[in-house]
A and B are shown apart, each in its own frame.
Chain A
């Protein structure tokens, strides 16, 4: 299954579901709703956090956290 971590820089995707329940609450609160568009803006080196654009603003999260966000194929 495709996750947010698989996107390349500037590539867009649509959020489908979350595989980590506890984390999903925080993500939903921050506006990462199922069905919303999400885009990777830039990443920190050495597998560091990634910066995404969602709901009209910028958010950063770790790579493992991005893996928990599944995208529509």
Chain B
């Protein structure tokens, strides 16, 4: 243990430069995902053991092409590197560059170097360069760039030991900038340097360039900078183009001087050949939908086994806790509240894991950017963006990771629309609700001899969700007004074989984040619900035992008494009172107060519907066997009419309601985080509830 502050190292580089692979190689499994303070971007960090036995903290910064951010993820890089006071500001930057595309990759490097951050340049994918018989003079490059340069092969891990050795030694670096910006804006730079007590010209120049975008400068200081810029006639855009072109000229000379590339530019590469097939005007779309179909199939088919397994595991654990703990309120709270809530989270992990396995495979291989490329035109018609494809697909598993996946959409309007409509996509939590209700009200018949009606209804519900998303997006496209431009300049990286270690680590990290983030909310809500359903106001709840005893005939068994008592208690609990309170509002949809309770509790998470229904119809404790619930629901008789409650009309109306309603606390919480306020989650919830209500009303009247 030492009190010395740990050495902080940042890993920076272009997207697709093999940064993540290098990060995994350097840290092994010693990684953690968290949040950067104040922002929602996932922070990935890990620890590296250096040859001198010190441990350094390595932060994997989001991939970016330059210090000028275009997306939210890129903004974090700018904030951390520009602000010396930022707790994440690195002592050393490891700049990763794709050796096969050195010129473009070096742009970011020269900017970081000019900020005065001690850096080392790592040329990644050196194996591919060697395959192409390209010769890179590392020593010459090192001298010309004034910095230590080394090559790594992230497949074999070659060069990692040397890199660790370099970062454990002090990095010497000349104070002379790579590209001198003072000739672009000498007075502005001097004035800002003086005012903010900065040493590097480029840092001061960045304050001038990015005044409005920098978060760590307050409004008053921004005013001062604006004043300085005005006095000195500083114009950001033309200066920036001049700077970038100037940097490229220097880089180009250095690269041409140190690289001998015998390859024929006009020769078609393997990636270009693959693209002929994958982006084909017809086959490209066939392949895209085939991949979607495969993802669906596996989320529903392959996840069933692991889901049942985890469910059993949790319920066994619950029973064990129930036996071990002394009987009483604490026991009930832990088993019915906390563990029941926990089960709701854990059960989705297999689906989340499978979904992220696919997404990470598609991203690693380079296919995802082709899907974005192919879908952009279609998506724009609906006010979305090619990049909305990923969140919308993810939304079929869970809206939470899906909404987090919108961060790489540059345009705020496109991103907001995507966030707004993603919860309409039928997520996996709706599936158990659909399954139970379809089994209950839709007959198991075949049409045309081969199509199962139940399956058809299920597919219809998924289509309904998709249509709602599309129609709402079109509506938002016309309502939202913004002067902001939407760009679509996107790299199409070369195809690569995915690295299994990266895929496995992604699955692990994303599942963990999901379980922790969503878990916190769901467990909290479960506890609140448990309290509301276990306690009630007034005499009728307090005297429930004697009231129920009096209602029952003398020869009633203890079991009958307990069943009756449980349902009586629920009816007179706070939750039951809420149900009764909203009954007039949901009566037109065909629902009674019991369904009302389920609607309220489902707000925590849709799948809570089943748990609530099983409690309401007082099925045995902790037993969520679907067949049993279905039987109980089937036998439920309307006391007024004497007819079964669960008719086709009610079932359909309820399913349509679940298809549209925003019944997910975690989604609202994530929308709040991503849009930085309550405005959008509130609009979204109101809108979705109104759509759900109206549609359910129409459905009920059609089928009734």
Which A residues fall within an 8 A CB radius of B?
21-31, 33-34, 41-42, 44-49, 51, 55-62, 65
Contacts and interface: CB of A to CB of B under 8 A. Distances in A.
Chain B: interface size category: 35 or more
Interface centre among B66, B275, B490 (most CB of A within 10 A): B490
Contacts, number: 102
Contacts of B70: 26
Q: Which 9 A-B pairs have the closest CB atoms?
A: A48-B377, A58-B492, A45-B281, A62-B488, A31-B104, A28-B244, A29-B66, A61-B489, A57-B101
A45 B241 contact: no
21 contacts: A23-B485, A25-B68, A25-B240, A25-B241, A28-B241, A29-B107, A30-B104, A30-B489, A31-B104, A31-B248, A46-B378, A48-B373, A48-B374, A49-B488, A55-B103, A56-B101, A57-B101, A60-B373, A60-B488, A60-B492, A65-B488
Interface in B257-285: 265, 271-272, 275-276, 279, 281
Given A23-B485, A29-B107, A57 B245 contact: no
B253 to A, nearest CB: 13
A29 B377 contact: no
B405 to A, nearest CB: 19
A54 to B, nearest CB: 9
B487 A26 contact: yes
Nearest to B101: A57
A61 B490 contact: yes
Contacts of A44: 279, 281, 373-374, 376-377
A59 B101 CA distance: 13
Interface string B48-73: 00000000000000000110101000
B497 interface: no
B267 to A, nearest CB: 12
Given A22-B237, A25-B240, A26-B70, A59 B275 contact: no
Contacts of B492: 51, 58-60
Contacts of B373: 44, 48-49, 51, 60
Contacts of B244: 25, 28-29
Given A22-B237, A29-B244, A41-B275, A65 B487 contact: yes
A44 to B, nearest CB: 6
B491 interface: yes
State the majority secondary structure of interface residues on B.
helix
A59 B275 CA distance: 13
Interface in B487-532: 487-494
Interface string B364-387: 000001000110111000000010
B505 to A, nearest CB: 26
Interface centre among A21, A23, A49 (most CB of B within 10 A): A49
Contacts of A56: 100-101, 103, 265
Nearest to B65: A29
A42 B279 contact: yes
Contact of B490 (A22, A47, A59): A59
B100 to A, nearest CB: 8
Given A30-B491, A51-B373, A55-B104, 7 more contacts: A25-B244, A28-B245, A29-B107, A33-B248, A49-B488, A57-B494, A65-B487
A4 B200 CA distance: 39
Given A29-B244, A44-B376, A22 B491 contact: no
B376 A34 contact: no
Contact of B65 (A30, A34, A60, A65): A30
Nearest to A56: B101
B568 to A, nearest CB: 63
Given A24-B241, A25-B237, A48 B376 contact: yes
Contacts of A65: 487-489
A49 B276 contact: no
Interface in B66-91: 66, 68, 70
Nearest to A21: B237
Interface string B27-51: 0000000000000000000000000
Contact of B377 (A22, A28, A34, A49): A49
Nearest to B248: A33
B104 A57 contact: yes
A35 B494 CA distance: 24
Contact of A60 (B101, B104, B240, B369): B369
Contacts of B378: 46
Interface string B472-497: 00000000000001011111111000
A46 B381 CA distance: 11
Interface centre among A21, A31, A55, A61 (most CB of B within 10 A): A31
Contacts of A45: 281, 377
Given A45-B281, A60-B492, A62-B376, A23 B104 contact: no
Interface centre among B103, B241, B374, B386 (most CB of A within 10 A): B241
Nearest to A58: B492
A42 B276 contact: yes
A33 B244 CA distance: 9
